Structure 1
Amino acid sequence: MTEQRSTVSRRTLLRGTVTAGVAGAIASTARPVPAFAGPGRRVAVLGGGVAGLTAAHELAERGFEVTVYEKRAWGGKARSVPVPGSARDGRPELPGEHGFRFFPGFYRHVPDTMRRIPFPGNAGGVRDNLIGMTEMRLARADGADIRVPLGARAPVRLTPDTFRETVSGAITAATRMTNDEALFFANRLLVFNTSCDARRLGQWEYASWFDYVNGHARSHEFRALLSRALTSLLVAAKEGVASVRTIGTMGEQFLGNPLEVAADGPLDRVLNGPTNATWIDPWLAHLRSLGVRLELGSEVRGLEVRDRRIAAARINTPEGARTIEADYVVVALAAEQARTLWTTDVLEVWPQLQAMDRLVVDWMNGIQYYLRTPVDIVRGHAAFVDAPWALTSINQNQVWRRKLPEYGDGTVGDCLSVDISDWHTPGILYGKPAEQCSPEEIAREVWAQLRTHLNDGGEVLRDADLHSWFLDPGITWNAERGRNTNADPLLINTAGSWDARPEPHGPLENLFLAGDYVRTDIDLATMEGANESARRAVNALLDVAGSDAPRCPLFTLWRSPELEPMRQLDADRYASGLPNMFDVAP
């Protein structure tokens, strides 16, 4: 057997060394802060999702006095949601959620934070609650399912030929796709992977992924698998509107994760229990131990501007309206909430924030089915390729440390957590899109679409096994209008949206922005993007404050070092108005 070696650039090695040093410095200087920090160190964090809690964590470790104001619930979209009235005989309520989540191995910022959150019995803190999945399933309505094994693979030295051969070979081996279409798709990935930064931002940011892969001219199999299913399952994006830069960058990470020596872990990871129990609640406890004050039920109503600074923030609380003052303000709200704060006074100083009105949000919410017996679907995530509502799922009892019979009334054996990614296409039962269906209709429709994909070779999902279901409470049905509203939409990366996304700091001296809409390296509405944006906001705040505290470590996404010479050549070609060397007509 010949020995295979992975190539690591000197720059990558040095970057890892510096990051480790910074992280160590932070750990050594972390300390609880006094009840009232010194002058110029008070920070108000507006929003208690992943971005807001990350900002509070990083600031508290650096000696700032931090108060976090949150309207609804800690953890935002990442939290667990107890099912009301489901507890019996001393057991906790059944755990529901906004939608299932997973932690790809190329996520680096979130796991870094998790390691600094203590958890009983875990040497690596909350990070040790992540476990790797072994396979992915693409379920088909006609029974021609695809199971993709996941896990460590031997490193491959990438050249253009090995890149195309490896990708196209994997596609043809696992699907019914023709060799020609598989080669075409592999070559489109190669074009992006060998594109320079200038082309990625100047050309691919403004082209849609669907057009880039020539989806209109491709087979149904190609569109279903390589355009729609993979984007909804792996990227949580819409293939028809997302940019080539967004989808291509994520594709680069998913292809590189098994080869990447700097990856944090396996390609697909999930928590080994409900999010609150395994992550959010320990995080809140740790923040309190660092001196962070957490105020729930606080709705931000406005910002007051004076002398190019935020002089105060107005909030509503259960006790009434309040005005809060701080030396620095971090707005860590979702994009659609943050932009309601950009009044004329704010925009007069920071006019670029007006562009946020062009950012698009859409719906991607979950429903959980509680089953009396465990189901064997796949050891990982499943995508239901032919489902009109673009469904994806994971059955959770197989991966949770505390099993489902320990919740609710004790008779639930599994939880099939399903994400609905398309709320605008008619379903198969009622002929209506999800946004026009009552909660009961949504539950029946999704169940029917799942059964269509899973029961073709036997009755995997049986009506008699269905104990109950729980729809994301962010979805509210209005019977008179015959429509739903959604309190938790998701930012959708559209072609050209980078121009509308702000930096974490601008002309307002003491205002900083954290959220997955802020410009980040990962460039996607994810927990990782929220965490990275918070770190960037904190670093900017430290600069303004003149602090000598260590800056938050930032991790860059992986790129194949073997393809770097071609990216350098592409920089010259792009500057000369020429296409990428591999970008040839199909």
Structure 2
Amino acid sequence: MAEKRWTVSRRTLFRGTVAAGVVTTGALSTGALRPTPATASPDGRRVAVLGGGVAGLTAAHELVERGFQVTIYERRAWGGKARSIPVPGTGSQGRPDLTGEHGFRFFPGFYQHVPDTMRRIPFQSNPDGVWNNLVAVPEARFARSGGDDFRVPLGLRIRSGFTAESFRETLGAALATALKMPATEGIYFAERLLVFNTSCDARRYRQWEHTSWRDFVGGRARSHEFRALLSRTLTSIMVAAKEDIASVRTIGTMGEQFLGNPLQIGNDGGLDRVLNGPTNAVWIDPWIQRIRALGGQFVLGAEVRGLEVRDRRITAARVVDESGAERTIDADYFVVALSAEQARALWSPQVLAVRPELAAMDQLFTDWMNGIQFYLRRPTDISRGHTAYIDAPWSLTSIAQNQLWDRKFTDFGDGTVQDCLSVDISDWNTPGVLYGKPAKECTHEEIAREVWAQVRSHLDDRGEVLRDADLHSWFLDPGITWQQGRQRNANADPLLINTAGSWEYRPQSHGALENLFLAGDYVRTNIDLATMEGANESARAAVNALLDVSGSNAERCRMFALYRAPELEPLRGIDAERYAAGQPNLFDVPI
């Protein structure tokens, strides 16, 4: 096949814009946004951003604000896992299609990088742009099969100034009361959090990075309630990790942030926030329009197949377009903003000869966390926030969206849908209750029936909360495809799962290849979790490295630090001495 150089026509760019659903007729107003960073007049230096998810869009946004000529290349759809997805053929009489999604997403108050970006995306008359489309939810519900549910309010504020003893007693009592478990187990868990929160960095990276969360909290030896809520739910359901393989450092850091949020220290807003409409409409499409208004260009249907290397530089990227033709794209700098499994496929012997540390990415672990949406003919009153289904074998969580969206659901589809229950499936490997098969081995129809049954068994044994008659239709993430020959599903969008000891396998955003920069939630970040926040943070680090290499004097991307209780800093100093002496943490006593 003859190789061609990539040229971007008006038709190609227009097709990429239309596919993203972007309107270019001035539908958005500027609002009171943060000023654009000072630029360094980069004299037409070109950047190719490979990947159009949150990491790629973040990198493009930061670079076009600084005057670089940026083109983003994306294979499937703008927004990546964060996008919303029209359900084909569901709209009628001028109404748009129903909206589906890879899985519902939430924006914890300790996210800092994503909200900072959102404030710089204009949206109608919002004073803070897209950021004003975030809505805080007031509670979380923990549903049990057969009853005994409980709800936890999320809007509480806690006074700071705690001591180690007050931390243990106050948090232990609060956990025992809120989660309906014995007081001794609440205090025990608080003690384990105290051990981590008072650990020095050396212990966090050298000991807790290599210890699983389940071993750290003693999950095997505790009560069923403890294991279900504080070992399993906090990992597989709440932060898309696995209790038996996720590191203490990763999960403990998230716990540190969740505890800091009620103190209103180091946080951007409510503990649990969601968007007030379909993700594309209230975030992704305005974001693309903003980047385009600043000069960014978009090419859709370009799958990256390889990188050409010469003299410790990337000279071109090879891509295949929708017709199957292979082309090369030229740029001065390349930002690889692909998922871990896509990025590591690009590490040829030529790339690894210069950056051998990238070979360790083969040790990174991915698993599945995908969503299904149930469209309902009447509004449902399950919870005023997220619901965790504690006993569900498929580790389910959900949120009812009608209560949160500004636009009525009857404006979509055929006009009869009044609510959408969006459910995330976090465990695709455990047999279900209807068919005795894991989700990976169920047809799409079986997945829908199985999830519906597991949810209903948790909500109301009499079937009053969710009735079969109310189910209008359902939509499974299209990344899940059934392979008839293998009698199992494939997943186009697996999720990186942090495992104990995996920090050493994850690369820095920049290395010995001078003009190659990495952005994605697999890159080393402070948030240290496969999240939109991690993708955004890594992209900022990549852009800052690019600015350094290019000699730019433009303002660097703002980077945010994670919260740590300053009251515990003296204890971390003591722990540094104890760790250096080979001693355990002061509060890590045998049970």
Task: Return the TM-score normalized by structure 2.
Answer: 0.93
Which structure 2 residues correspond to residues 33-72 of structure 1 after superposition, within 5 A? 38-39=43-44, 41-72=45-76
- Separation of aligned partners in 2, 1:42 and 1:93: 37
Counterparts of 1:114-513 in structure 2, within 5 Å, are: 114-319=118-323, 320-456=325-461, 459-513=464-518
Bigger CA drift: 146-155 or 367-376?
146-155
- Tell me the distance in 2 between the aligned counterparts of 1:293 and 1:387: 45
* Deviation (angstroms), 1:455: 1.3
Residue-by-residue CA offset, 1:238-294 (whole Å, 9 max, x unaligned): 111100000000000001111033311000000000000000000000110010000
Amino acid at match of 1:189: L
> C-alpha displacement at 1:154, in angstroms?
3.5
Alpha-carbon offset, residue 30 of structure 1:
6.0
Distance 2:303 2:257 in 1: 37
Question: Which residue of the other structure, out of 560, 575, 578, is the alignment partner of 1:573?
Answer: 578
Say if 1:46 and 1:69, in contact at 8 Å, map to a contact too: yes
CA-CA distance at 1:457 after TM superposition: 6.1
The 1-side partners of 2:74 and 2:421 are apart by 30
Kindly state the Cα deviation for residue 481 of structure 1 after the two structures are TM-superposed: 1.2
Flag the 1:426–1:256 CA change in 2: closer, same or farther, 3 A.
same
1:16 maps to what in 2? Answer: none
Work out whether residues 176 and 185 of structure 2, in 8 Å CA contact, stay in contact via their aligned partners in 1. Answer: no
C-alpha RMSD of matched pairs (Å): 1.5
Question: How far apart are residue 25 of structure 1 and its match?
Answer: 12
1:235 counterpart SS class: coil
- Secondary structure at 2:317 match in 1: strand
Aligned-partner Cα distance in 1 for 2:388–2:339: 27
- The gaps in structure 1 that reach 5 residues or longer are 1-23
Distance 2:33 2:172 in 1: 45
C-alpha contact (below 8 Å) 1:260/1:558 kept by paired residues: no
CA distance 1:376–1:200, change in 2 (3 Å)? same
Deviates more, 1:99-108 or 1:474-483: 474-483
| Runs of at least 5 residues in structure 2 that lack an aligned partner in the other structure | 1-31
Q: How far is the alpha carbon of 1:322 from its aligned partner? A: 1.1
Q: Which moved more, 1:235-244 or 1:49-58?
A: 235-244
Report the Cα distance in structure 1 between the residues aligned to 2:146 and 2:586, rounded to whole angstroms: 40
C-alpha distance after superposition, 1:434-481 (max 9, x if no partner): 000000000000000001000136510000000000000000001221
Distance in 2 (CA, whole Å) between partners of 1:480 and 1:424 is 19
Distance in 2 between residues matched to 1:552 and 1:27, nearest whole Å: 13
CA distance in 2, matches of 1:293, 1:38: 17
User: How many angstroms apart in 1 are the aligned matches of 2:213 and 2:531?
Assistant: 19
Q: How far apart in 1 are the matches of 2:581 and 2:553? A: 44
Task: Kindly state the Cα deviation for residue 237 of structure 1 after the two structures are TM-superposed.
Answer: 1.2
The Cα offsets for residues 472-512 of structure 1, whole Å up to 9 and x where unpaired, read as 00000012211000000000000000000000000000000
| Contact map agreement 2:55 2:538 (CA 8 A) in 1 | yes
Aligned residues: 559
Alpha-carbon contact 2:106-2:274 (below 8 Å) kept: yes
Q: Deviation of residue 295 (structure 1)?
A: 0.3
314-323 or 87-96: bigger deviation:
314-323
Contact 1:152–1:266 (Cα < 8 Å) also in 2: no
Paired with 1:284 and 1:175, the residues of 2 have a C-alpha distance of: 42
* Paired letter, 2:288: L
Relative to structure 1, the CA distance from residue 508 to residue 500 in structure 2 (aligned partners, 3 Å threshold; closer, same or farther) is same
* Percent identical residues: 70
Cα-to-partner distance string for 1:117-161 (whole Å, 9 max, x where unaligned) = 000020100000001000000000021111000114142322111
Q: Measure the CA separation in 1 of the matches of 2:118 and 2:225.
A: 39
TM-score calculated relative to the size of structure 1: 0.94
Q: Which amino acid aligns with 1:49?
A: G
- Measured after TM superposition, the shift of residue 38 of structure 1 is 2.5
Residues 478, 316 of structure 1: alpha-carbon distance in 2 compared, 3 angstrom cutoff: same
8 Å CA contact retained: 1:32, 1:61? no
CA contact (8 A) 1:158 1:560 kept: no
- Per-residue deviation, residues 7-60 of structure 1 (Å, max 9, x unmatched): xxxxxxxxxxxxxxxxx9982446899xxx735x10000000000000000000
CA contact (8 A) 1:32 1:289 kept: no
Q: Is the 1:137–1:147 Cα contact (8 Å) retained in structure 2? A: yes
> Is this contact kept in 2: 1:109–1:555, CA < 8 A?
yes
Q: CA deviation at 1:176?
A: 3.2
Contact 1:32 1:60 in 2 (8 A): no
Q: Distance in 2 between matches of 1:26 and 1:465?
A: 45
